[in-house]
Amino acid sequence: MLKSFPIISIILLLFLTFSPPALAQNPISIAQAPQAPKIEAATDISSQELEEFATAIQQLEAIQTESREQVGQIIEDEGLTAQQFRDILEAQRDPEIENEASEEELQQFENATEQLVQIQREAQVDMREAVEATGLKVERFQAIFAAVREQPELREQVQQIIQDQE
């Protein structure tokens, strides 16, 4: 289950870095995410906390999957392909890339982007609630996450817990 650990890292980066007001100001900032502030890795992690962490990771993966499906549906509902959306996004991020999108496609992109901001807000709330429902505070989850990322043996323990929970 942790083979998607890089994806979870991206989710958590978004979850931990961006507030809804920041996203509302510039929804494209999701794709231009700066590095999150360094979270100090936890020490003295109990087996109970590892269990809670593993449960939270699984729930975050489910939220991420659902959000990804919603994103794809929104883009499609607006009349764009995923590639068109990416091309417009890249053109907006890099002024050297010529934007070949029509006015209609740009409007579809803007409409989709507004909806994606809402999806991001909802996902942030869902992720926070999922973490807290396991019994961990978000700050503790972040610290454990940093430790798991830095310590291969701890990562293996979490992977084993997830396998055992399945």
For 63-93, the pLDDT digits (tens) are: 999 998 999 999 999 999 999 999 998 888 8
Q: Tell me: pLDDT of 50 over 90.
A: yes
Nearest 5 degrees, angle CA 21-CA 71-CA 133?
65
Distances (CA, A) of 10 to 33, 97, 98: 9, 25, 28
Question: How would residue 43 be classed by pLDDT, with cut points 50, 70 and 90?
Answer: confident
Nearest to 37 by CA among 9, 8, 16: 16
Q: How many CB atoms lie within 10 A of CB 139?
A: 12
Q: Which residues contact 88 (CB under 8 A, 6 or more apart)?
A: 80, 99, 101, 105, 106, 109
**Alpha carbon 106 to chain centroid, angstroms:** 25
Mean pLDDT of 27-36: 39
- Which helix (H) or strand (E) segment holds residue 115: the answer is helix 103-133
Phi, psi angle pair for 93, to nearest 5°? -75, -35
CA atoms 13, 85, 24, 115: torsion sign: negative
Residue 29's Cβ-count burial label (10 Å; 0-12, 13-18, 19+) is middle
Under 8 Å between Cβ of 155 and 148: yes
Question: How would residue 127 be classed by pLDDT, with cut points 50, 70 and 90?
Answer: very high
